[in-house]
Structure 1
Amino acid sequence: MYGYRGKILSVDLGTEKITTMPLDEKLARQYIGGAGLACRILYDMIDSDTNPLGPENPLLFLTGPFCGTRVPTGSKASLCSRSPLTGLWLHSTFGGHLGADIKFAGYDGILITGASKTAKYLLVEDDKVSIQDASHLWGLDTEVTWNKLKEETGYNVAGIARIGIAGENLVKYASVIIDHHRAAGRGGLGAVFGSKKLKALVVKGTDRKVPVAQEEKLNDYLEALNERKQEDVTFNMYSEMGTAGFVDTATMMFGSMTAGYYQVSDFDAFNISGATVSETILVGKTACYRCPIGCGRVIEINEGQYATGKFSGPELEVTGTMGIQLMNDDVEALSFASKQLDLLGMDFITAGNVVAFAYYLYTEGMISSDDLDGLEPEWGETDTALKLLKKIATREGVGDLMAEGSIAFGEKFGKAHLAAQVNGLDLPQHDPRGFSGMAIGYMTSPRGACHMTADMYNIQMGVSDESIGVVSEDRFENAAVITARQQDFRAVTNSSVICNFYPILGDEMVDLFKMVVGWDYSLDELKLTGERIFTLMRLFNLKLGYDSSNERLPEIVMQSLEGPTEGFVPDTEAQLDAWYSFRDWDRTTGRPSKSKLELLNLETLSK
């Protein structure tokens, strides 16, 4: 198989049985790899009775066919499971070089089942696989764990995934930190690690030659492809200023990050933007394997209350949650908060949203200082936020409740309806009042409010791909049909697995499948495959008890704002009607029609 290794490593932590399972070539063609193929594999292993934090909930690391090849940004991978936070399907795309190391070790993925009674880490050295004691690592932060594992194994450049104390304490939005501060961040995958007593995964692969179908032709094609992409505006913005380079554009031109979700006020975010980071505390940048962009920031703050030393700098989402949402314009305080989230191992988006929710409820008089263990948060200061983050990670006091997520925290005080979430997953920093497509994207995403399964903020800023029928239109238009097409395309890129920040087009993806895998591929098959994968994720969620009546935006973001959003509030009912009609799904049940399932060869999975 070109582009694939043909097998998945399978490890049962309970029995310590280690085996391999063959990769089904037919399923690979239908679901590609990454999130898509993982969803098909786990569909047969997870049902509504599966406890997300029980030993029966599997974890699956899965690469795509481009991983380990020269395809730019194609060496990302997916980590998939049932979410402890939402109870729904969960895939998280991560960077670094762990995906490539899995491929170089001779596997397309690693399936982890069962649970150990004591702390362990999994060490994969090509075909030598062992389960190691991790009792000496339990209780350590993600950075110390990373350094100790490199020293202990002798592999300074191995792919390493690890959790912090938030994962150990089963915080339902704990993340898994990958390599140089990348993350499988959303939905609580770190808690699934913790429930299995799995502190880390270390992979060292030595076979760096992944076979491709047309190597010489591919090399020539990629050289020309990268030359074209380097002329792209967003490519250069992310390269020069990191993802937080989008902050100024989002706040000043589109109003999609003006004041966060929990307070409405004029706030100048320039002091914490990617531009300001570049001009003040930036000392370098990092890139994932085979990435020509290099959006990772390296910052250094050596003095003062918020000294970080040399560490990973703040990216877009944490700039929104720990900066804009708290009205914090101190770039050093923001950077320190970003580091703490990384060390503790928590999702930047949900953790920041839960903290901002606490600030909002307190300042609006809906909860008291006693409800927050004596803390008295004020907009603009971050010290309270830092204390709350530590409480959450350790489940101390009110942190135990906040660790369950924003809905649980809100329910305690009768304010769950104000939580900025959809289907249990907190909204990222792309306000649907700034881009209408984000509204329908959030409401119908397979994993809850997600900006990566339909990045309509890009499309409605002017990005188009006519080859797949995604054409930019006014940011206040209905956009439901275009969003559905973009969701299908992102199902392909999240399965292949190519980074959303690399401006790849549909017809270019077709070329890559031909040259890497050797498939006789077409645009029609690409679009059908994307639709099949996206629909499979809906079937997966229906199997878990998905309720389409929860497809609605929270009350807090259905209020009009002044400024760049021009008072716009998306017509979510019209969007849902158009989206369901286009997909040929039933809006009441949330289920695809029989004819649609037959077209996508999914009819046997819908029963």
Structure 2
Amino acid sequence: MDFGRILEVDLSAGKISEREVKEEVAKKFFGGSGLAAKILYDEADLSLDPFDRKNPLIFMAGLLTGCGIPGTVKLSVCSKSPLTGVWGESTVGGHWPPEFRFTGYSGIIITGKADAPVYLWITESGAEIRSAEEIWGLDTFQADERLKGQTDEKARVAAIGPAGEKLARIASIVFDGRNARNAGRCGVGAVMGSKNLKAIVVRGKKVPEVADKEGLKAALKEDVPVIMKYAEAFGKFGTAGGVEVVEHLGDLPIKNWQLGSWTEGAKKVAGQAMQPKYLEKHYHCLGCPIGCGKIYKVEELGLHGHAPEYETIAGFGPMCLNEDPLPLIEANELCNRFGLDTISTSSCIAFAMEAHEKGLLSKEDIGFELKWGDGKAAVAIIHQIAKQEKAGKLLAHGVLRAAKELGPKATEFAIHTKGLEYAFHDPRAHVSMACNYATAPRGGDHLAALSYLLDRGIPLSDLGYTTPPDPHTSDGKAKITYDMQNFIGVFNPLGLCVFYYMGGRIGPKLIAKWINLVTGWDLNMDEVMKASERIFNLKRMYNARLGLSRKDDVLPSRLANLARPDGTAAGVLPDMNKMLSEYYELRGWGERGIPTEEKMKELGLEAEARLCK
């Protein structure tokens, strides 16, 4: 197999070089966030400010990205996060990642800062740094159209919007223009903006080599129909179809995580309510038969782009008590155009609504009343955040910084861990998620484990999970967190979409088979899981070098100490001390949550451990 080449781009010097990916390194860390973690851990100066020109920004395709297996379309963007100051990563799918892999490259390490705005143009022939001065200031949809005109109409574009240009710490990178696949979390768009890098445009035709083409073809002929038997229903509405189910389970965040039920509101903003009115077409990432994405067209507002996913609906719907789907759809498109993470942005707006209600943010601060349920006011605040005007100056940098500015009372309702706003699954409804949120490398990250899926009855028989556990007890949840983090942690380094577990119910045995057919290796399920554990521990050590330990593995006070008042999950609170102690023992970490020397030796990370002392 060809593991691809990595571009090294120094924007300060205007120079581009290349390095090879060695097979022994790929076998230990795969690609994606795994290989990026290895590079950042070994080579980056962790003391640097995230906006320092020397701080690397890495785009890394997964090991299997573009190889022809459905769902292998993912790429990770990694750096020291300007939002949290610790490990930062964000993963994106769509068409850009495989198109990038078709250029023959598998990664880009970007350092330096251009004197004036630039973009990268990458093909099979190499890479060029080109002027983006005429494109700077455009939104991501406009930049996509303009850059295709300057390069190739079939090219794929990853661009920041005005939010990233102005270094909003909740800025995203938007891929594929109006189709709006986002590397949203951890402020990676702001790191890109700090380097005066507007976009990366790719066009390639070189499909990665596969060790056993005929074997892979035969395997997929057998595997894909089984996947689709489970995933067909998921494809109909995508993640937006789960809003009412999540509300019924007591998992939906309501009024900045204060309430327990929102039954009628959930019905109004669910995909089942919006899709019949606004669906233009279903959207498929490259080669994916599921098609969980949706393109909406809303004539009355002049909106046309990717529909809001579950997280966006939860954020601009129940988090803000907004039952009107139109401003919700508009908020989604504005975030995509400006280049803003919808999870962090909606969390900041719900935080601001509560701060306004409690007299900590005045009408003069905002420019208008910001009341619960006012979707139009939420839309107006997004403009402020993107332009960093009025209250937007405060909110553009996340709830942790905003709360510090507003004072101690505001910290009580700033919902984050390690500075990253929570994704919208309640750890009081699925207690295993409390252990995950506390320990995930980037902070309030549901995708580090997805353990709530076991509670919903999605089995993982390869690991012995065949019946749903009790979601409301802390017993056994450290083990579930440990197992699910090690399993889900396989997906991003491989470039494989997690929806193939959530929708298609694949497990590590099947994944190991696919890896071997593509690479020619002979890994078993346990070795695949061990690679994921190695990567997870490397990210933990990255954070440990920045001073993080058990003291940082915490839930926000509201979620740790205040139970939901009603609904299915009423009265439930996680036992964090119990779960963390059990979890650290399973991980082979000391009482402070730092990996032990014995654990590092077991994982083949002896050299990396020396840097952690």
Which bin holds the TM-score, normalised by the shorter protein? over 0.9
Q: Distance in 1 between matches of 2:281 and 2:185?
A: 26
Alignment-derived partner of residue 191 in structure 1: 190
Whether the 8 Å contact between 1:317 and 1:428 is mirrored in structure 2 is yes
Alignment-derived partner of residue 11 in structure 1: 9
Picking from 478, 495, 499, the partner of 1:501 is 499
Alignment-derived partner of residue 473 in structure 1: 469
Distance 1:221 1:191, change over 3 A: same
Task: Please report how far the alpha carbon of residue 548 of structure 1 lies from its aligned counterpart in structure 2 after TM superposition.
Answer: 2.5
The amino acid that maps onto 1:602 is L
Q: Distance in 1 between matches of 2:424 and 2:361?
A: 25
Q: Distance in 2 between matches of 1:464 and 1:475?
A: 14
The amino acid that maps onto 2:350 is A
Task: Please report how far the alpha carbon of residue 266 of structure 1 lies from its aligned counterpart in structure 2 after TM superposition.
Answer: 4.1
The amino acid that maps onto 2:3 is Y
Alignment-derived partner of residue 351 in structure 1: 345
Pair 1:367-2:361 in alignment:
yes
Q: Distance in 2 between matches of 1:276 and 1:420?
A: 29
Picking from 401, 405, 419, the partner of 2:398 is 405
Whether the 8 Å contact between 2:235 and 2:291 is mirrored in structure 1 is yes
Whether the 8 Å contact between 1:70 and 1:290 is mirrored in structure 2 is yes
Distance 1:237 1:441, change over 3 A: farther
TM-score (norm 2): 0.95
Residue-by-residue CA offset, 1:121-171 (whole Å, 9 max, x unaligned): 000121232111101111111111111111121x22322100000000000
Alignment-derived partner of residue 235 in structure 2: 239
The amino acid that maps onto 2:429 is G
Q: CA RMSD in A?
A: 1.4
Q: Distance in 2 between matches of 1:319 and 1:250?
A: 12
The amino acid that maps onto 2:158 is A
Q: Between Structure 1 and Structure 2, how many residues are aligned?
A: 595
The amino acid that maps onto 1:285 is H
- Per mean C-alpha deviation after superposition, the further-off stretch among 426-435 and 255-264 is 255-264
Picking from 318, 332, 338, the partner of 1:338 is 332
Alignment-derived partner of residue 574 in structure 1: 578
Pair 1:290-2:287 in alignment:
yes
| SS of equivalent to 1:156 | coil
| SS of equivalent to 2:281 | strand
Picking from 577, 598, 601, the partner of 1:598 is 601
Alignment-derived partner of residue 538 in structure 1: 540
Q: Distance in 2 between matches of 1:3 and 1:566?
A: 53
Picking from 420, 424, 432, the partner of 1:425 is 420
- Per mean C-alpha deviation after superposition, the further-off stretch among 354-363 and 64-73 is 64-73
Task: Please report how far the alpha carbon of residue 496 of structure 1 lies from its aligned counterpart in structure 2 after TM superposition.
Answer: 0.4
Task: Please report how far the alpha carbon of residue 101 of structure 1 lies from its aligned counterpart in structure 2 after TM superposition.
Answer: 1.5
| SS of equivalent to 1:293 | coil
Task: Please report how far the alpha carbon of residue 65 of structure 1 lies from its aligned counterpart in structure 2 after TM superposition.
Answer: 2.5
Task: Please report how far the alpha carbon of residue 282 of structure 1 lies from its aligned counterpart in structure 2 after TM superposition.
Answer: 1.1
Q: Distance in 2 between matches of 1:377 and 1:237?
A: 38
Alignment-derived partner of residue 517 in structure 2: 515
Pair 1:381-2:374 in alignment:
yes
Picking from 207, 210, 219, the partner of 1:221 is 219
Picking from 389, 393, 398, the partner of 1:396 is 389
Distance 1:315 1:539, change over 3 A: same
Whether the 8 Å contact between 1:175 and 1:184 is mirrored in structure 2 is yes
Runs of 4+ in 1 over 4 A off after TM superposition: none
TM-score (norm 1): 0.96
- Per mean C-alpha deviation after superposition, the further-off stretch among 173-182 and 272-281 is 272-281
Residue-by-residue CA offset, 1:371-393 (whole Å, 9 max, x unaligned): x3332111111222122111111
Alignment-derived partner of residue 454 in structure 2: 459
Picking from 103, 107, 121, the partner of 1:105 is 103
Whether the 8 Å contact between 1:47 and 1:543 is mirrored in structure 2 is no
| SS of equivalent to 2:58 | strand
The amino acid that maps onto 2:416 is Q
Residue-by-residue CA offset, 1:502-526 (whole Å, 9 max, x unaligned): 1221100110111111111112211
Distance 1:515 1:44, change over 3 A: same
Task: Please report how far the alpha carbon of residue 442 of structure 1 lies from its aligned counterpart in structure 2 after TM superposition.
Answer: 0.5
* Structure with greater helix percent: 2
Whether the 8 Å contact between 2:432 and 2:452 is mirrored in structure 1 is yes
Q: Distance in 1 between matches of 2:132 and 2:394?
A: 28
| SS of equivalent to 2:43 | coil
Counterparts of residues 65-76 of structure 1 (less than 5 Å): 65-76=63-74
Percent pairwise identity: 34
Task: Please report how far the alpha carbon of residue 258 of structure 1 lies from its aligned counterpart in structure 2 after TM superposition.
Answer: 5.2
Whether the 8 Å contact between 1:61 and 1:111 is mirrored in structure 2 is yes
Whether the 8 Å contact between 2:394 and 2:402 is mirrored in structure 1 is yes
| SS of equivalent to 1:383 | helix
Q: Distance in 2 between matches of 1:4 and 1:203?
A: 18
Task: Please report how far the alpha carbon of residue 533 of structure 1 lies from its aligned counterpart in structure 2 after TM superposition.
Answer: 0.8
Whether the 8 Å contact between 1:142 and 1:344 is mirrored in structure 2 is yes
Q: Distance in 2 between matches of 1:258 and 1:407?
A: 18
The amino acid that maps onto 1:584 is G
